[in-house]
Structure 1
Amino acid sequence: MLTSQRKKAILDALERDGQVLAGALSVEFGVSEDTVRRDLRELAAEGRLQRVHGGALPASPAVAPLAQRQDMDVAAKQRVARKAAAMIEPGQVVIVDGGTTSALLVQCLAPDLQATVVTHSPSVAVALAAHPSIDVVLIGGKLYKHSLVAVGAAAVEAMSHIHADLYFMGVTGVHAKAGLSTGDFEEAYVKRALAQRAAETVVLACASKLNTASPYRIGELDLAQTLIVDAGADARLVKPIEKAGLTVVKA
């Protein structure tokens, strides 16, 4: 089997099964595990998959720079954002993550909504500055420019004093076995800390993030209680997530 044929078979298996194991592939292809690992390395370098111990998972497409991500899946993100905004009740304290879907979420808030939004995203805070009845608490720290959010020890320390009703979490990967993931180590730590400060964590994701993984794991799926995904998501991708215990709401 040619290298190109093996790589296509690997990608087909990832789409079908959600993961591949190097040992099983070496038996299937009749080549050494070193050969399979080389194929996986090359595919990972192309951004086609995410390598993990013993094999690989589908790679998330949502790791591009912010300016590029703003133009990805816009209609789906708007539907997710509207559904998320409708969950907020008057008087609640709500944590809003950074990211493109969160930016749309704050645009959907009713002008008469009275609530408190806690965020480590300067963009989210500025977007809410003109809202007449929402108090904004901005968490500071080192600016992670890829997502325009504050990270680091100062941010985590500030979060420890918060008790929120809801946390709207942005992720780049949602996988039934690999859990919730993102593209930056410090950002993963901050998201995990924020989830611990809220009564309910709601993950916001368009369909392209389902059954994918990024380099840094935020936590297992049970770190959250609810996933909001656009209605166009394939049922085959949603079912394993529901089976793992997460409530899936389609927007």
Structure 2
Amino acid sequence: MLAAQRRDLLLARLAAEKKLVAKDLAVELGVSEDSVRRDLRELAAAGLCQRVYGGALPVSPAIGDLTARASVNVDGKLRVAVRAAGLIRPGTTVILDGGTTALAVARALPDELRATVVTHSPAVAAVLLDHPHAEVYLIGGRLFKHSGVTCGAAAAEAAEGVNAELFLLGVTGVHPDTGLTTGDADEAAMKRALARRAADTYVLASAEKVGAASRFSVLPLADVAGVVTDAAAEDPTVRRLGELGVEVLPA
């Protein structure tokens, strides 16, 4: 088998199984592990997979900037947003992450809902300017322009003063093996800081993020109360999440 044919096979297998194990593939294809790892390096360099220890996972399509992400799975994000907005009870304090799904959540909040929304996204705060009953607190700090959120020491310190019932967390990858991931280390750290300030964390995971992985770990799946997703119930990752005891809330 030519190297190009082998790489095509790897991509097809990755799409079907959501995971590649280098040593197993080497045995199956009758080549060395070094050959498989070299193939995976080339695929990763082309942005076609996310290399992890021992193999590779699907790369998340949600790692672009806000403008690029705005056109990805718009209908799915809206369904996730409406389902997640229903988790916010009157009189509660909710931390709302940044990103396109979080923006959709902000837009989906009913006008009659009286709640306090804490966010590190100026865009989310701006959406809620016209909400008649939402009290909004904006966490300041260094603005990470790629995702439109504040990060860094000042933002993390400001988050320490928050106590919330609920955190709606945005990520770029949800995978049974790597947990919850995102594309920037500082943003991942800020998400962890916010998660520590809430009684329950629910993940906003439209279908393109389910089964995918990015470079930096946010939280293990065991640390969240559930995952809100529009991915189909028969999706292999959704089934694995259920087997791991993760509550999946269909959108």
Name the TM tier (shorter chain): over 0.9
- Structure 1 runs (4+) greater than 3 angstroms displaced: 231-235
Q: State the number of aligned residues.
A: 251
Measure how far apart 1:223 and its partner are. Answer: 1.8
Contact 2:119-2:138 at 8 Å conserved across structures: yes
Residues 233 and 45 (structure 1 numbering): CA distance in 2 closer, same or farther, change over 3 Å?
farther
Cα distance in 2 for partners of 1:131, 1:65 equals 26
Are 2:154 and 1:151 equivalent residues in the alignment?
Answer: no
**For each residue in 1:199-231, what CA deviation from the matched residue of structure 2 results, as whole angstroms up to 9, or x when unmatched?**
110101111111110011112111211111115
Distance 1:102 1:169 in 2: 8
Note if contact 2:60-2:214 (Cα within 8 Å) is conserved in structure 1. yes
Deviation at 1:41, TM superposition (A): 0.9
* Structure 1: gaps (5+ residues): none
For structure 1, which segment, 173-182 or 36-45, has the greater mean C-alpha deviation from structure 2 after superposition?
Answer: 36-45
Amino acid at match of 1:169: L
Aligned to 2:117: 117
Which residue of structure 2 lines up, in the alignment, with residue 13 of structure 1? 13
In the TM superposition, 1:26-175 aligns within 5 A as 26-175=26-175
How far does the alpha carbon of each residue in 1:118-169 deviate from its partner, in whole angstroms, 9 at most, with x for none?
0000100111112121111111111111110000111111111211111000
Which 10-residue stretch deviates more, 11-20 or 160-169? Answer: 11-20
Indicate the RMSD between aligned Cα atoms, in angstroms.
1.3
Counterpart CA distance in 2 for 1:138 and 1:109 is 17
SS in 1 for 2:113: coil
CA contact (8 A) 1:206 1:233 kept: no
- Does the 8 Å CA contact 1:207/1:234 hold for their aligned counterparts? no
Distance 1:172 1:225 in 2: 18
1:74 to 1:233, Cα distance in 2 relative to 1, 3 A: farther
Structure 2 unaligned regions, length at least 5 = none
- Contact 1:226–1:249 (CA under 8 A) maintained in structure 2: yes
Instruction: Indicate conservation of the 8 Å contact 1:159/1:197, yes or no.
Output: yes
**Kept in 2: contact 1:70–1:100 (CA 8 A):** yes
Measured against aligned partners, the alpha-carbon deviations of 1:164-205 in whole angstroms (never above 9, x if no partner) come to: 111000010000111000010001111111111111101011
| Identical-residue share of aligned pairs (%) | 50
Q: TM-score, normalised by structure 1?
A: 0.96
Say whether 1:238 aligns with 2:238. Answer: yes
Partner of 2:24: 24
